[in-house]
Amino acid sequence: MPTFLPHSTHFRAAALLALSGVCLGAADFDWPQPEVKIRTAFGGGVRDQLRGNAIGFGFNLATPTALGEASLELGYNYKTGDLYAGSLQPAVAGMAPVDLRNSVERKANDLKGFAVRVALARPLPWDSWSWHVGLMIGGAKFRQEMVGDSRSTPWGPTATPLATTWRDTYNATPESGGFKTSPLLGAKYRVNRSSSVEINLLVLNYTAVDYIHQPGSGVYTMGQNAQGTNIGMISTHNGFPADSLAKNTRWWPHLELGWTWHF
């Protein structure tokens, strides 16, 4: 009775046939090309107290398709802002006016977050050049940090009429969602096998938020210092239900310059 051992002719033939099938399949499959990208962007001017420039980086996979080179990138984008003075609103009706000399509101904004970029590229008539169109999804979480301390004029334990005097202390960190879609159009020049330079027009889409405080809108009682001395009418910290959040949708064009390493 015949037996089939691992070293038999039948086994070797079957193994060679299977290996050749795997090799042929691998030859027909184009593995996505990994890439690392860094970029800087210029929006010009200042909007929503954000600087015009931005930075970003990402890891990209590119693969040829029947329509062109498709790419999928996971990255991070960041745009910062400087500390600025918020606009103090008038006191609510019936309360003493704001003491502008002794009231302050400080704010700082930034825009950041992880983003996914999808794009499709096609070659241009010039050697080593291609153009692409795509979308950036995310990377647009708007965040504001703010703190305020405002009071009326007059204010103090002996101010009259005492019932109309007030002092407000408050802080907040409002945010807007970063899941926004920003269109982009650009071109790429292949410098050599391992690197490319890229230029894009990105229309950055985000929602700006701004905390609006209503002075004199709290519930006020006589405050005391650490020694137990009366200092004036003051509300609990952040006790202002009339405060609100202003939201505005923005579309801000940016010119991006980037460098890509191919692996």
What is the per-residue DSSP string for 90-156?
Answer: PPPTTSPPB-TTS-EEEEEEEEEEEEEEEEEEEE-SSTTEEEEEEEEEE--EEEEEEEEEEEBSS-S
How far, in whole angstroms, is CA 244 from its chain's centroid?
Answer: 22
In a domain, 249, yes or no: yes
39, 54 Cβ separation under 8 angstroms: no
> What is the pLDDT at residue 65?
94
30 — pLDDT class (breaks 50, 70, 90): confident
In a domain, 188, yes or no: yes
Residues 155 and 157: their CA atoms lie apart, in Å, by 7
For 166-179, what is the mean pLDDT? Answer: 95
Residues 251 and 224: their CA atoms lie apart, in Å, by 48
In a domain, 93, yes or no: yes
In a domain, 15, yes or no: no
State which residues form the domain around 237: 31-262
> What is the pLDDT at residue 31?
84
Percentage above 90 pLDDT, the chain: 86
In a domain, 94, yes or no: yes
> What is the pLDDT at residue 178?
84
In a domain, 16, yes or no: no
In a domain, 2, yes or no: no
Closest to 136 measured CA to CA, from 238, 251, 17: 251
233, 246 Cβ separation under 8 angstroms: no
Q: How many domains in the chain?
A: 1
Question: Identity (one letter) of the amino acid at 43?
Answer: G
Token representation of residue 249: 């949708």
How confident is the model over 204-230, as pLDDT tens digits? 999 999 999 999 999 999 999 999 999
Q: Quick one: CA dihedral 156, 223, 241, 245, positive or negative?
A: positive
In a domain, 19, yes or no: no
Give 218's contacts (C-beta < 8 A, 6+ positions apart).
Answer: 166, 168, 235, 236, 239, 240
Report pTM: 0.84
